[in-house]
Amino acid sequence: MGIHVVVGANGAAGSVVCTELLAAGHTVRAVSRSGRGAPPGVHAIAADATDTGQMVEVCGGADAIYHCALPPMDAWLPTYVDMATSLISAAGYVGARLVYADDTWMYGKVDGPMREDSPIRPVAYKGALRALVAEMISAAHVRGQTETVIGRAGELYGPRVVSLVASNVFAAALTGRRAVWPGDPDMPITPTYIGDFGRALADLGQRAGVGGEVFHVPVAAPTTGRALIAIAGRQAGTTPGVGRMTARTVRLLSPFVPLVREGGELLYQFERPFVLDDSKFRELTGLAATGWDDGIRGTLDWFQADPERTRYRLLPRRLN
């Protein structure tokens, strides 16, 4: 078994990657700025992912490095690019494969299912940053600096996920208050369960013959925001209403709600069909996505484990 380094190991995706790699028998170095919050059984390390020297040191002897780190949303410039630069350099220096946990923001406003060869047309600055970093990582493989592979997820949901969808929808289902969906709740969408994302990244870090490739990780069949809210309510024994976050809502709340201020520019994803085509990954691996019932049950269980989580309210009471 080998040495695998997970950077951003205390986050939603990174923690799943750690658990999967431990189950496969690998030695796991779990890197985060604090050195806390990773699953038990790992070698937890506090380090700055933007510091190439530190990354070279903690990644020594590694077979694979997983870039699951995310800076605070209000600090993406220049931190996110600095992280990528550092991890590409470290992976090249130690001779490890670099696995990048990516998303779909770079595709922009799509007209059909998103595939790995879909045009890169970002319409928001975070999408442009994602496109830049994906290009940096792919280019490192092309020029022979280090082997890389990219796993790309849709809108995430599941335990420990913080987003415009996750906290408000699932906390609302458990309390019976109105759930506020970003954009149009009746548009087709394929969110990615965080467990599926982590499992796919761990698979790509261990699988031969995927260097230089981009893969969309598994998603369940297309659904809608309204359907997800209904399933969550049924499982929680409530009937939450369905509200809608519009561009006007974003403008009103941006000065007061950091998550809306930083995530509101991505509202376009929910105003048209936003469907991920995962056939390339499924045909290669045979791995399927978690179904909506099971994914929502796992998410609700996580919220119920701490009553403070169900008190979360994205919108002020007078607007909710």
Amino acid present at 20:
E
When the pLDDT of each residue in the chain is averaged and rounded to a whole number, the result is: 91
Q: Give the model's pLDDT for residue 261.
A: 61
Q: Give the model's pLDDT for residue 262.
A: 59
pTM of the entire predicted model:
0.94
3-state helix/strand/coil string of 252-285: HHCCCCHHHHHHHHHHHHHCCCECECCHHHHHHH
Q: Give the model's pLDDT for residue 268.
A: 86
Q: Is the pLDDT of residue 214 over 70?
A: yes
Q: Is the pLDDT of residue 106 over 90?
A: yes
Q: DSSP assignment, residue 181? A: E
Express each pLDDT in 108-166 by its tens digit.
Answer: 999 899 999 999 999 988 899 999 999 999 999 999 999 999 999 999 999 999 877 77
Q: Give the model's pLDDT for residue 30.
A: 98
What mean pLDDT is predicted for residues 1-8? 96
Express each pLDDT in 60-104 by its tens digit.
Answer: 999 999 999 998 877 788 999 999 999 999 999 999 999 999 999
Euclidean distance between CA atoms 100 and 151, whole angstroms: 6
Identify the three-state secondary structure at position 193.
Answer: strand
Euclidean distance between CA atoms 114 and 176, whole angstroms: 34
The first and second tokens of residue 254, run together, are 């941006």
Express each pLDDT in 280-319 by its tens digit.
Answer: 999 999 999 999 999 999 999 999 998 878 765 554 444 4
What mean pLDDT is predicted for residues 173-186? 91
What mean pLDDT is predicted for residues 171-190? 92
Express each pLDDT in 268-280 by its tens digit.
Answer: 888 999 999 999 9
Q: Give the model's pLDDT for residue 312.
A: 56
Give alpha helix (H) positions in 113-175: 125-142, 166-175
Q: Give the model's pLDDT for residue 265.
A: 75
Q: Give the model's pLDDT for residue 306.
A: 86
DSSP count for the chain of H helices, then E strands = 12, 11
* Cβ neighbours for 36, distance < 8 A, ≥ 6 positions apart: 10, 44, 46
Q: Is residue 88 within 8 Å of 30, Cβ to Cβ?
A: no
pLDDT band at 258 (very low <50, low <70, confident <90, very high): low
Q: Give the model's pLDDT for residue 208.
A: 96
Q: Is residue 204 within 8 Å of 215, Cβ to Cβ?
A: yes
Question: Shortest CA distance to 240 belongs to which of 169, 146, 177, 174?
Answer: 177
Q: Is the pLDDT of residue 40 over 70?
A: yes
Q: Is residue 259 within 8 Å of 174, Cβ to Cβ?
A: no
Q: DSSP assignment, residue 183? A: S
pLDDT band at 196 (very low <50, low <70, confident <90, very high): very high
Q: Map tokens 């031969």 to a residue.
A: 208
Q: Give the model's pLDDT for residue 316.
A: 46
Euclidean distance between CA atoms 68 and 156, whole angstroms: 13
Q: Where are the beta strands (DSSP E) in the chain?
A: 3-7, 27-32, 43-46, 64-67, 97-102, 148-152, 156-157, 179-182, 192-193, 214-216, 242-245
Q: Give the model's pLDDT for residue 62.
A: 98
Q: Give the model's pLDDT for residue 134.
A: 98
Q: Give the model's pLDDT for residue 318.
A: 45
